[in-house]
Chain A
């Protein structure tokens, strides 16, 4: 294991750790982006949009009638626009919470709690970075592109999906200044062997100085293999069912490798971004 010898990332520059708060936000837009996902953009009070890439909000979804849903829904931030005071969330309609969220119209208000958790850290030396994401994992990764570009890092993003139609955010990533490569199940390009080869090729071209992954267990394991082989720093953003979102309830634990031990860490307060090589498969 090479984790100990890898370069230590610098704390994310130029952004102060924002204080989390509970507030009502006004919905500006809430539209489908494809057959499965929707994008909600909200206007937030002063300063609340100062979130770091990789952080998340706890969203209080409206009740559907039977006192459901009871808990907030954790959602990573898809777009952070501090000057405009806007935040966007990309979400898949899967259950009670996201269903009631999908029914909200512009003008309505929604209660948010955040920003929460620890964001991504960038390598110190301006090294080029690569992002690897699938599904809703792309939402988590999206704000990292512009943030890394502003900090002077070249960014390559490998976006994975079932079909080309379901590749989300390609334009968003391109506009933010990333070089984008897509892989899909239907084209037979998304197999981990191929993704690993692509990452090795990127490394050969001097484009892989750090690696970030989110949204797929198989991709995370592939990223770990590449990171180990090449000695490249990496981080994984993980998901887990949550209740409190701030480290009190110990509901959202996942197993991690810490030296010779397997330990539980809370995704909400100790993550959701973790050192790539310490995360265990789920």
Chain B
């Protein structure tokens, strides 16, 4: 029997697999056995109501998707009253994802979602800060530290900081989030990207630019997760392009404590469960009793080219 449980950012998870924010909803309960997930992560909620962006909101690219959904939200009051109770009957930790466009707005919504039934708050600091000319909070260490400090004062619940890959200072931002009081980092949000329909010469997305996700981004986000693991002592949760258990294993081996599966669920609704099964199989086949022991086992041994070629053949 493999022990799949992990301690992750202030909560204990039955296994290290959970949905990425925005790719999960209670509707999924009618399709897969939600109780098997390590945690639930809600779609980001904002202080007030938001309609979201104009369509087309999604476009597919080779090996991935572009999206500019624009965080449609019913607002935090309706969320606390209607959405949080939906998950009360599951014995799975509920992680609430929040966003706001100012540091004080962030602190306020964080306070308002810190209610019974919520196990942790994931703070989507990858969104634009209107007090910083629209730059995402997590693009720079200074703004990351400032918003995390305010959030830390607003709640006693574990805080998970969701970082953006759209920064040149990933390790410094990770350090700032940890210094500001984050209990874990989620690495990462989508990569800013675009595509064009050459027949119409229009951008594929209504908002022209959007976020790239899916298998196409995995090597980039894996590198960033590895950098964050080396920069901070708090757990890192890998999130980027995981389609299979093998993808999740890569994240664990480079040092992630847990993983989030997102875009894959849009293609295979049971993707998260397949990943959990695959992690268990891998541990059993490799004599690993506790999956937590796999975290950070990246080998530093020199490559043996002959062995690797043999393995591929």
Task: Give A contacts to B, CB under 8 Å.
Answer: 19-22, 60, 66-72, 113, 240-241, 243-251, 253-254, 264, 269
Contact = CB atoms under 8 A, between A and B. Distances in A.
A98 B43 CA distance: 31
Contact of B269 (A71, A113, A251, A254): A113
Contact of A244 (B23, B56, B215): B23
Most buried by B among A19, A244, A247, A249: A249
A241 B58 contact: yes
A249 B69 contact: yes
Nearest to A17: B30
Contacts of A241: 55-56, 58
A253 B55 contact: yes
A97 to B, nearest CB: 9
Interface in B283-306: none
Interface string B263-279: 00111111000000000
A24 to B, nearest CB: 12
Contacts of B25: 246-248
B219 interface: no
Contact of B31 (A21, A70, A243, A264): A21
Interface of B: 22-25, 27-28, 30-31, 43, 51-52, 55-58, 60-65, 67, 69, 72, 214-216, 265-270
A243 B65 contact: yes
Nearest to A70: B60
B265 A253 contact: no
Contact of A248 (B55, B61, B65, B265): B265
Contacts of B62: 66-68, 70
Given A68-B60, A71-B60, A253-B57, A248 B23 contact: yes
A70 B61 contact: yes
Interface of B is mostly: loop
A249 B267 contact: no
Contact of B58 (A22, A67, A113, A243): A243
5 contacts: A68-B62, A244-B266, A246-B269, A250-B69, A251-B57
A72 B267 contact: yes
- Of the listed residues A66, A71, A243, A253, the one surrounded by the most CB atoms of chain B closer than 10 A to its CB is A243
B31 A251 contact: no
A68 B63 CA distance: 7
B72 A264 contact: yes
A65 to B, nearest CB: 10
A72 B268 CA distance: 9
A22 B62 CA distance: 23
Contacts of A113: 269
B267 A253 contact: no
Given A22-B269, A70-B267, 15 more contacts: A67-B216, A68-B60, A70-B60, A70-B64, A70-B65, A71-B58, A243-B67, A244-B266, A246-B31, A248-B24, A250-B57, A250-B69, A251-B56, A253-B55, A264-B52
A243 B67 CA distance: 10
Given A70-B61, A248-B23, A264 B51 contact: yes
Contact of A71 (B55, B57, B65): B65
A71 B30 CA distance: 21
A250 B51 CA distance: 10
B52 A69 contact: no
A105 B261 CA distance: 33
A71 B52 contact: no
Q: Which 5 A-B pairs have the closest CB atoms?
A: A251-B58, A67-B63, A70-B60, A244-B266, A247-B27
A18 to B, nearest CB: 10
A70 B214 contact: yes
A254 B56 CA distance: 10
Contacts of A69: 60
Contact of B268 (A19, A22, A248, A253): A22
Contacts of A254: 55
B288 to A, nearest CB: 29
Contacts of B265: 244, 248
Contact of B28 (A19, A60, A70, A246): A246
A114 to B, nearest CB: 10
Most chain A Cβ neighbours within 10 Å, of B23, B43, B57: B57
Contacts of A22: 268-270
Nearest to B60: A70
